[in-house]
Chain A
Amino acid sequence: MSAPAKTVETVKIKVNGKELDAPKDQPVLQTCLDNGIYIPHYCYHPALSISGNCRMCLCTASNAPKAVISCATFPAEGAEYTTESEEVKKLREIILEFLLINHPLDCPVCDQAGECDLQEFSFRFGKDDSRFEEEKNYRHTKKLGTNVRLYGNRCIVCTRCVRFCEEIAGDAELCVRERGDSNIIDTFPGIPLENPISGCVADICPVGALFVDDFVHKTRVFFLESTTSVCNMCATGCSINVDTWQGEVQRLRPRHNPDVNDYWMCDRGRVGYKYSGAAERLSRYEVGPARAGSSAGDGKAKAGPTDPPRSTRAPSDFGKALAAVSDRAERVRREHGPGAFAFVASAWMSVEEMFLFRRLATTLAGAVPGEAGPATGILAVADGEAWTPRVGGAFKIDSDRNPNRKGAEMLLLGSFISEPFSVLLDRLESGAIKFAWVVGGIPDFSPMDRFRDALGAISNVVVTDILPGPLSERATILLPAASFVEKDGVFVNGRGWAQRCRAALPPPGETRTELDLFQELLRRAGERERVLSAQGVYAELAAEVGAFADTSYKTLGALGARVTDDEPAEREPTGREAAKR
């Protein structure tokens, strides 16, 4: 099913007198957009089939007697197109006047206000009045599915949402009902809009007719601050924007990235920021005494949910907690050697964090030739269900629900983690481990019972985590951590595509990022001079780890880059491409 090697055939056209090479099988509208000539449009979307119903994209052509819609006009050799003229200006005014006939003009209470193409085009291309004096019609407001809400009155019936459901998601749950000015988007009675990427209809709706329920009446979009980042909810790692206001994430939106997610993201990922704002987030450093005489090395550790309650840890601060970590590690190393340590990483860490954690482990545990090294392992959440849209370019929902398992494979497996998890469990239970450091950072994580219980019997358990849970309960030293909306770092998706996650907010309370934490510990141990930004740490990593060589934050840019040598997966066709076959 591989696409034939593509040589783009072009023809010469002129737009507003400027000569352009226009790809033959691409609408004039897209060619103009690609060349910085803006033509307003509603129904056209690069990932969807061409519908040509909104008429907003009208322009004049030298080879047509009347104005043509540029979204459905393919370039003819030598033709001249005009997008800026009195005639086109007039046409745009008329179209907008029509589109607004039944529109309620309720911008003050509309969540789209500020990023609405109706507002935008009215402002730029519209008339300042309307001749329509009759009564406007009324069309329903309703929930189309669990996640999506329709404000029918604002709909301009461009059918982007309908085409998305049929062509991309695949279940075609939406339709345009009735005829003429009664046209309204609806679902079939009893079959709601419930596909796993249903929220995308709100992204592509050019007006304020469709919203993801989570964002209805939450904030004004013009107050939002946007940070480009990566979704953390599965191994696809959709490119996203994290939109914040007043120190809180208000929504996540997919960002176009043809190599990762095309224009889409799943509904689960879209609300995947929720835990970061949870009231119970860990935000205080806490240090408690080492567990006394827990297992003394004789046989199996016996422990369980009856661990020291949280209250045995006293509030501390960054500096003191780090000192406690160093001191305890130092003592264990002296008394028991490197074999008494365990380091458990997480598939939710960034590559920079993994890189530093690996170093930190060697520094804290030391190494004695001929003696066993520390026990190592990695935490990850269990697989979920995979889902592939009918056509979605590179987008899919990965069954691997960890954002950086691939990164962990590249940075930790083999070099750092050489034993299977079962060996780690055996060693944790053997009583020989006196110092365990567990990095969590996984929301809703429930570790296996054996792991949890074994931790409860180890003298020193350092836990880095974001939410209270079975891990933090068993910590003797608790270090709060930053969630993905609060940290900088690179994540490698399941296909080996490395992308930058960027901090949109500061971590809660006194929390410092793991990046700072690990570096500061290394600095105190004399292993590094300075505490660097994620960019600096990445540069060190790239110099050391082959697969990342020649990449930097600069080359990764906003869209990322491939960092593995595995066979690159064949690029899946995107919507329009697939339609052409």
Chain B
Amino acid sequence: MSRELSPEAQKEFDWLVTRYPQREAAMLPTLRLIEREFGCIDPEGMKLCAQLIGCSPAKVFGVVTFYTHYKRETDGENVVYVCGTLPCALRGSDALADYLCDRVGIGLGETTEDRKITIKKVECLALCDQAPVCQVEDVDWLRVSKEKADEMLESLGIPKRETAGAAAGGEEKRS
């Protein structure tokens, strides 16, 4: 029942490992490949990676959980990453996270019942000069105010509140 890569993905993997001096060094791109192939990295995916790379599943487990950007099976369709590292924390990421959770109606690290949205606090997103920062899939949201948070949620299908004023700042959305 063990999982396998599709022939094309296998070909890609075979090419990937040639690009690194050691097989283990190809672990990160291999994980990306698996994520793309299977939609997320679940334990079976980690085992597959371990098998491909030739290391123990525990080692892959450690790597996957170290990085915030690998999608875990427990995540919803869209994951809102809220940076919680120092610069963002100083610029109110705690309150921001609370606000987001409140609006979506879930706790931090939780997923909505329809499995559409997960909100996670993560370590540094490397945009400290634009704090506080959020990331939804591949889109960075910078200097996130309440208004911008609403806009971000709207992009995920959560309508703005009546009372909330219109927000601008689309140009600060980066892809």
Contacts and interface: CB of A to CB of B under 8 A. Distances in A.
B173 interface: no
Contact of B58 (A173, A178, A179): A173
A175 B123 contact: no
Contacts of A162: 62
A187 B65 contact: no
B46 to A, nearest CB: 7
Given A172-B59, A173-B56, A190 B43 contact: yes
B95 interface: no
A180 B84 CA distance: 11
Given A177-B65, A178-B65, A179-B65, A187 B123 contact: no
B57 interface: yes
B61 interface: yes
Contacts of B43: 188-190
User: Which of B55, B58, B65, B68 has the most chain A CB atoms closer than 10 A to its own CB?
Assistant: B58
A191 interface: yes
B66 interface: yes
A174 B57 CA distance: 9
A295 to B, nearest CB: 61
Interface in B31-67: 43, 46-47, 55-62, 65-67
A176 interface: yes
Nearest to B62: A175
B62 A171 contact: no
Main secondary structure of the interface of A (DSSP, over half): mixed
A248 interface: no
A174 B65 CA distance: 13
Interface string A177-220: 11110000011111100000000000000000000000000000
Contacts of A178: 65-66
Interface in B1-47: 43, 46-47
B60 to A, nearest CB: 8
Contact of B56 (A177, A188, A190): A188
Nearest to A189: B43
Contact of A166 (B46, B56, B57, B66): B56
A172 B56 CA distance: 6
Interface string A209-236: 0000000000000000000000000000
B55 A177 contact: no
B66 A187 contact: no
Interface residues on B, range: 10 to 19
B10 to A, nearest CB: 23
Nearest to A184: B65
Contacts of B59: 166, 172, 175
B123 A180 contact: yes
Contacts of A186: 58, 61
A449 B68 CA distance: 64
B108 to A, nearest CB: 13
B66 A172 contact: no
A157 to B, nearest CB: 11
Given A186-B61, A188-B43, A188-B61, A179 B56 contact: no
B66 A188 contact: no
Main secondary structure of the interface of B (DSSP, over half): helix
A171 B57 CA distance: 10
B46 A188 contact: yes
Nearest to B56: A172
A177 B123 contact: no
Contacts of A190: 43
B61 A175 contact: yes
B125 to A, nearest CB: 13
A189 B43 CA distance: 7
A335 B57 CA distance: 72
A188 B56 CA distance: 9
A162 B60 CA distance: 13
A179 B85 CA distance: 12
A188 B65 contact: no
A162 B47 CA distance: 18
A166 B58 CA distance: 10
User: Which of A172, A175, A180, A186 has the most chain B CB atoms closer than 10 A to its own CB?
Assistant: A175
Nearest to B43: A189
Nearest to A187: B58
Nearest to B64: A177
A176 B56 contact: no
Interface in B67-94: 67-68
Contacts of A189: 43, 61
B30 to A, nearest CB: 16
A178 B59 CA distance: 12
A171 B55 CA distance: 9
Contact of B57 (A165, A177, A179, A188): A188
A131 B94 CA distance: 22
A191 B58 contact: yes
A580 to B, nearest CB: 17
A179 B61 contact: no
Interface in B138-157: none
A188 B58 contact: yes
Nearest to A179: B66
Nearest to A171: B56
User: Which of A179, A187, A190 has the most chain B CB atoms closer than 10 A to its own CB?
Assistant: A179
Contacts of B68: 179
A188 to B, nearest CB: 4
Contacts of B47: 188
Contacts of A179: 65-68, 123
B65 A172 contact: no
Contacts of A174: 58
B1 to A, nearest CB: 13
B57 A191 contact: yes
B57 A176 contact: no
A469 B37 CA distance: 62
Nearest to A193: B58
B44 to A, nearest CB: 10
A279 B59 CA distance: 45
Contacts of A187: 58
A166 B55 CA distance: 10
Interface string A138-172: 00000000000000000000000010011000011
21 contacts: A165-B58, A166-B59, A172-B58, A173-B58, A175-B59, A175-B61, A176-B62, A177-B61, A177-B66, A179-B66, A180-B123, A186-B58, A188-B43, A188-B47, A188-B56, A188-B57, A188-B58, A188-B60, A188-B61, A189-B43, A190-B43
Interface of A: 162, 165-166, 171-180, 186-191
Given A166-B59, A172-B58, A188-B61, 5 more contacts: A165-B58, A172-B55, A174-B58, A189-B61, A191-B58
Shortest 7 CB-CB distances between A and B: which pairs? A175-B62, A172-B56, A188-B57, A175-B58, A188-B58, A177-B65, A188-B61
